[in-house]
Amino acid sequence: MANLKKHLSSIANDVVHRCALKLDTSMDKLVEQIEAGWNSETNGYSRKFVEFCSAKALTYMCQNIEENISNGSFSRFTFDMMLAWEMPSSTDEEACMECVAKEKEEGKVSLKVTQEQDDIPLFYSDIMPLLVDNEPNVGEDAFAWLGSLVPLVADPVNGRFTFETLTAPTGNRLHFPAYDKFLKEIDKCIKHLQKQAPPNGVELGDDEFILHVEGTASSQRVVRHIGATSWPGRLTLTNYALYFEASGVVTYEDALKIDLFENKEHSVRPVSTGPWGAPLFDKAILYESSESSEGIVLEFPEMTSSTRRDHWLALIKEIMFMHRFLSKYKVECPIQAWEMHARTILGIIKLHAARELLRISPPTPTKFLIFALLDELPKGDYILEELVDNLKKINSGHPCSASSTLKNMNMSLSFISSVEVKEIGEENVSASGLDDNNSSLEIAINQAREEEKKIVIAKSTTKELKEEGITESTLIFMELLKPLKGVLLWFEEIFTWERPVTTLVVIAATFLITYKEWLGKAIAVFFLWVVAKMIQARQKKINDKCKEIVVSSASDQTTMESIVSAQHGLQTIHQVVQTANIALLKLWSILISKARKHADIVMIAMIGLAILLAIVPVKFIIMAITLYCFSMTSKLGKQVGNNQGNRRLQEWWDSIPVIPVRVVEKPVDSPTCKSM
């Protein structure tokens, strides 16, 4: 490395030199190539130079990516690329060295580890952050940049979420042992899936690949429930369908195929199963389709949690969401459609690899899956729209693209060879379609991430409320309703003429709004009044004064009085339910003319009301009802009025017979459901 560039850091010089060796050229020629299209007014020349050289070298390395991952050269080289991207210039390196020197002066002694400790598998050790504390590490931006060049490492859509999950134990910094093991687990997962036998009685398509298998002798059980019977078997997921093979005496029976790509109404959701239909074990999924009257229930038994079920559910949803995306946005080009298939397949493989790394605490599946993540992410639909445009810019023939990566990993892709793809020209095109750091897709993803962080913070404030018992929840509810009680008392005073002037104003305003048909304007005035109150509260800085709402659970009642009060409350609720049941049964008797005389009166009254509403404008009826209500609560109305009308109405209501009700233990068809 005699021809070093002074403006580059030592790691950047090393990476650029190795890139030149890979490309069989010199560093000076690489400088000439980038400066030919370089705008002198833009900043960040050192980083752009590292990006340019790395992209060219990766194009060469991805052509034999499987061997490069196996021997460790790919992980070491790409990790150094990320280090160089984070610290591209000599100025950055000097600032970093000053920070390290300052830390040493403050007494931060580096921890030396033995070879035995260094061999402890990463993520399985509780002292793992200490083991890698002073090793070179990279941050989120560098990982996302590499993912934009190599989708095998991370997809541009969820790369930052993948980084957060992988680096959760290490303070959001990625260390080389973890990165190297992650890539090797990806390679191992691909080879494992290639060895899986296809389902019995099924011939997989050229572009159909097995993505997950369970229920075999070497894996955990999968059980299908059909009514009261249960059938263990093997479950296979591909990028087009789900296959279940019931276990036979010697081998598996022919597979039941569940299509996940057809344009039909279908869904999958978690369910609970148990003996005699009791929902005791929340470890199953239910697949429902418009073409089948009965759903398909598949259970994933395990001792404690429902991690397996959640994993399968996320994978199945990912395949369904992918096909829905291709159908909704009419991605008809086979090259673009397969590129999306390949990115989805790689996402599932990366999830398998991460689960092998993080066995103690399995990662959230959506952090590695594109469409499952966007389904949960705020404004994920906006990202899908940007993803469609981004898909058109991707060069599927690029050696680093998702489809080319699967091909170079020795997966049988006769489908790809039959599709004509664009050749790589002299101009280097990104495998992800991201031309610069300010792409609209990346902007949409960053906005969604910021929105998600705000939602997570907001949801965390409600966590304590959800954990409260019924007593505490009732106390909080009553405390929050206290301001409403004041409003109700104010309306009661107006309605009972305790404030005659205010009552007359309310009546006049009601008449004017109703007659002029200003209801929309009245609602607008109410909204403006609410806004004014909010501004007033902001000016008074009530938000700073009201840090929390304090609810007192103290009571003047003794323990016995509290028990008696609770019993009276239960009796009141029971009486309310009984009264509601009786009222519904009386209305049902009138509706089906069980009480014929009463039904005739109701029909005559409703015909009269219908004629009245058809002839008289509604506004006059509202005005008349308003005048009647306020007049009957006034002193004059109380003197003139009598209770005979209310008494006759109560007697008429009490005289309505109800239909007898009989409660039986066996399920029967209720006649009330068929008669109307």
Mean pLDDT by 10 residues, the chain (676 residues): 71 90 88 74 78 90 88 91 89 71 58 40 42 73 92 91 88 88 92 90 88 89 87 92 88 89 83 78 89 87 87 94 91 88 94 87 89 90 89 81 86 52 44 57 88 82 65 71 77 79 85 84 88 87 74 70 78 87 87 86 90 86 82 68 72 84 72 50
Whole-angstrom Cα distance, residue 416 to residue 272? 42
- What's CA 369's distance to the chain center, in Å? 11
Q: Which residue, chain included where needed, has tokens 């002798």?
A: 217
Q: Give the number of other CB atoms < 10 A from CB of residue 363.
A: 19
- The pTM for the full model equals 0.76
Full DSSP string of 23-41: TTS-HHHHHHHHHHT--TT
CA angle (156, 209, 71) in 5-degree steps: 65
Dihedrals phi, psi of 397, to nearest 5 degrees: -80, -5
The radius of gyration of the chain from alpha carbons, rounded to an integer in Å, stands at 36
Count, residues in the chain: 676
Which domains, and CATH codes, for the chain?
Answer: 10-191 (no CATH), 196-306 (2.30.29.30), 571-654 (no CATH)
In sequence order, what are the residues at sequence separation of 6 or more whose Cβ sits closer than 8 angstroms to the Cβ of residue 61? Answer: 22, 68, 73, 74, 77
Do residues 49 and 60 make contact, with C-beta atoms less than 8 angstroms apart? no
pLDDT of residue 101: 64
Dihedrals phi, psi of 9, to nearest 5 degrees: -75, 170
Name the 3-class secondary structure at 137.
strand
Sign of CA dihedral 607, 608, 611, 614: negative
Q: Give the number of other CB atoms < 10 A from CB of residue 63.
A: 12
Dihedrals phi, psi of 208, to nearest 5 degrees: -110, 125
DSSP summary character for residue 370:
H
pLDDT of residue 353: 92
pLDDT of residue 145: 92
Beta bridge partners of 231: 224
